[in-house]
Amino acid sequence: MQLLVTGAFSLRDDERTILLNQGWTILVHPDETASYPGDPHIVDAIVCNRFFDHHDLNAFTGLQLIQLTSAGTDQVDLEAIRARGIQLYTAKDIYSIPIAEWTIGKILEIAKSSRVFYVQQQQHLWQKQRDLMELNSLTAMILGLGDIGRAVAHRLRPFGVHVIGVGRRVINEAACDQFILIDDVDRWLPQCDIIVVCLPLNSQTEHFFNRERLQLCKPGSILVNISRGKIFEEAALTDPIASGHFRGVALDVFEQEPLSETSPLWSDPKTLVTPHNSFISPQNRERLFQLICTNLLKVVRS
């Protein structure tokens, strides 16, 4: 069977041997943006990320499985994949630990005014800050309870935070104190001290946080986006940040990446910007390869 591995996951020699022993013939395409020089009809499975942003899915007539190296699916045509009966797997649970740890770190940075102290240290300035927050007894809303949202919830609860989970259908999630439907978000936003956005990007969630919904957020709250940049109407985000509506905002994703050098988000003192970096961890590779092997075996054994 023919396995195409793109530059989204570069195989080590030992990993290549494991896949060969599973019965795969391995084809390699290092640059996902470049035209694929091989015969697409013979490919049975593919490991990729944004390969189908640049290649026609219909050309891969024998494709049985797509393994994405990302947690999201907004880069593929889900309807076309389902129509053809192709098995689609994401990097589920691979990045949830580092992203959740990053989220807790940024919430604490904002709550404890860490950026102020970084600046004061550079200036050799000994000046106490009297507005530090504690997380105990605060209310956090987590929009989207996939593996990342659940991992964030599990880490917030020990701080004494009341966690509200949000989704499109009711689920029983032990990490949350209560659960609301996404249609009720507007009623609850004014009551939440921390808002963590883990929503998938689709036609219903693009610009979910528009100008009106951002204004509904509780004054002085902490806002974190670890999903996709287009969940926010980014142009509408700068005004409430600049006006002091939020205590702080932590953003790891943006509508256009890299973030424009002229974006006011770079220099805003209440905004923490990272370059889509929250998922990084040395443990990711091993977790992802094990997941790839498990899912590929489903094709081999079918």
Is 96-273 CATH 3.30.1330.60?
no
Contact between 213 and 221 (Cβ < 8 Å): no
pLDDT at position 97 is: 98
Query: In this structure, which CATH number among 3.40.50.1220, 3.40.50.720, 3.40.50.150, 1.10.10.350 belongs to the domain 2-94+282-300?
Result: 3.40.50.720
The domains of the chain are located at: 2-94+282-300, 96-273
Q: Distances in Å between the alpha carbon of 265 and those of 114, 115, 251?
A: 18, 15, 9
196: its two tokens: 């963590």
Dihedral sign (CA 54, 57, 58, 61): positive
pTM: predicted TM-score of the whole model, two decimal places: 0.93
Place of tokens 């969630």: 205
* Residues facing 50 on adjacent strands: none
pLDDT at position 302 is: 75
Same topology, domains 2-94+282-300 and 96-273? Answer is yes
pLDDT at position 257 is: 96
pLDDT at position 51 is: 98
In order along the chain (302 residues), what is the average pLDDT of each group of 10 residues?
97 97 97 98 98 98 98 95 97 97 98 97 98 98 96 98 95 91 97 97 95 97 97 94 95 97 95 98 97 95 80
pLDDT at position 214 is: 97
pLDDT at position 10 is: 95
Quote the CA–CA distance of 289 and 91 in Å, as a whole number: 10
